[in-house]
Amino acid sequence: MLHTILEKRQLSHDLERGQSVYYFKVTAPEIARNRKAGQFIIFQIDRDLGERVPLTIADANAEEGWIAIVFQTVGATTLKLSQLEVGDEIPVLLGPLGSPTHIEKIGTVVCVGGGIGVAPMHPIVQAHKKAGNKVIAIIGARSKDLVIFEDEMRAIADEVIVVTDDGSYGRKGLVTDPLKELCEGKDGHAMPNEVVAIGPPIMMKFCVATAKPFGVPITVSLNTIMIDGTGMCGGCRVSVGGETKFVCVDGPEFDGYKVDFDNMMTRMGAFRAREQEEYHKCRIGLDAKAGA
């Protein structure tokens, strides 16, 4: 089954890094009917060849039969994906994969999203609100131009706090600043019953360090290198509580206190130079094609 692109939007563009973030709404009726918060898909641009890339499902509509994916152009495959337009088709879209987010009525949940991690946090906020929890969303970005999914979060969360590194929008600082204040119970807030964090590994690592002194449970969603999505290749393995886990089948969510972030970040950086090389080759090819 081919998956048709129904909507395409560019959410942000990072001039410093030359990367853009895109929103695609894609036909995927079976995935839309069966997905749960926290699960992801794997896509391929070419049916028989090419990289397999995991993306967390950012939204879905079971009745209309579509899912939404949000991605950043960090490598050749995501750059090629960004060149597709409405009406084009993605030949391979596998999912839903991974274990769903554990959702129950527990009280107050603080959901921390950094950068592109705000998009996959969206269905988790939806699910916690539906379960009857109070949800406070913290959105972090380097600058105002890179803030995404703010309107979507404000439509469902009880409170939204926006933080930018340079102070160009919302509060100046890091996501850990308001997280610490919430854990301290400042400004009339009750200590959260749970924290959920999605974003760059270093951000999640420091969210865990922030919550730890207060003993607040924290769940993190990992986005490691994946190949087959079934746990057979072992590419996505991480150390959790001293045990080897596979993000694609055991995760993507884990107890943040048990994740060995340093080991995970080392593994994730193993192919970064090759990824950048392939990205630039693809970019040069696309520019040459456009100028022909």
One-letter amino acid of 43: F
Contacts 24+ apart (CB under 8 A), 184-188: 184/214
Domain ranges in the chain? 3-99+280-286, 108-221
Strand partners, 112: 138, 197
pLDDT, position 270: 62
Q: Which two tokens stand for residue 137?
A: 């969303």
Whether the pLDDT of residue 134 is over 80: the answer is yes
C-alpha to C-alpha distance for 243 and 277, rounded to whole angstroms:
33
Of 75, 13, 14, whose CA–CA distance to 280 is shortest? 75
pLDDT average, residue stretch 118-146: 97
pLDDT average, residue stretch 104-131: 96
pLDDT, position 198: 96
pTM: 0.90
CATH number (2.60.40.10, 3.40.50.700, 2.40.30.10, 2.30.30.100) of 3-99+280-286 reads 2.40.30.10
Query: Greater confidence, 266 or 159?
Result: 159
State how beta strands 53-61 and 66-72 pair: antiparallel
Instruction: Give the DSSP H/E element, type plus range, for residue 215.
Output: none
Other C-beta atoms closer than 10 Å to the C-beta of 115 total 22
pLDDT, position 248: 87
C-alpha to C-alpha distance for 2 and 47, rounded to whole angstroms:
10
pLDDT average, residue stretch 250-259: 94
Whether the pLDDT of residue 277 is over 80: the answer is no
Whether the pLDDT of residue 292 is over 60: the answer is no
Please state at what angle helix 261-268 crosses helix 201-211, rounded to 10 degrees: 170
pLDDT, position 1: 66
Whether the pLDDT of residue 284 is over 90: the answer is no
pLDDT, position 274: 66
pLDDT band at 96 (very low <50, low <70, confident <90, very high): very high
For 188-203, the pLDDT digits (tens) are 788 999 999 999 999 9
pLDDT average, residue stretch 55-68: 96
Q: Is 112 helix (H, G, I), strand (E, B) or coil?
A: strand
CATH number (3.40.50.80, 3.30.450.20, 3.55.10.10, 3.20.20.70) of 108-221 reads 3.40.50.80
Q: Exposed/middle/buried for 243, CB within 10 Å: 0-12, 13-18, 19+? A: exposed
pLDDT average, residue stretch 45-67: 88
What whole-number percentage of the chain has pLDDT above 70?
95
pLDDT band at 234 (very low <50, low <70, confident <90, very high): confident
Query: Greater confidence, 32 or 186?
Result: 32
pLDDT, position 271: 64
Return left, alpha or beta for 65; rule: phi > 0 is left, psi -120 to 50 is alpha, else beta.
left
pLDDT average, residue stretch 118-145: 97
Whether the pLDDT of residue 241 is over 80: the answer is yes
Strand partners, 21: 12, 72
Q: Which two tokens stand for residue 246?
A: 């596979």
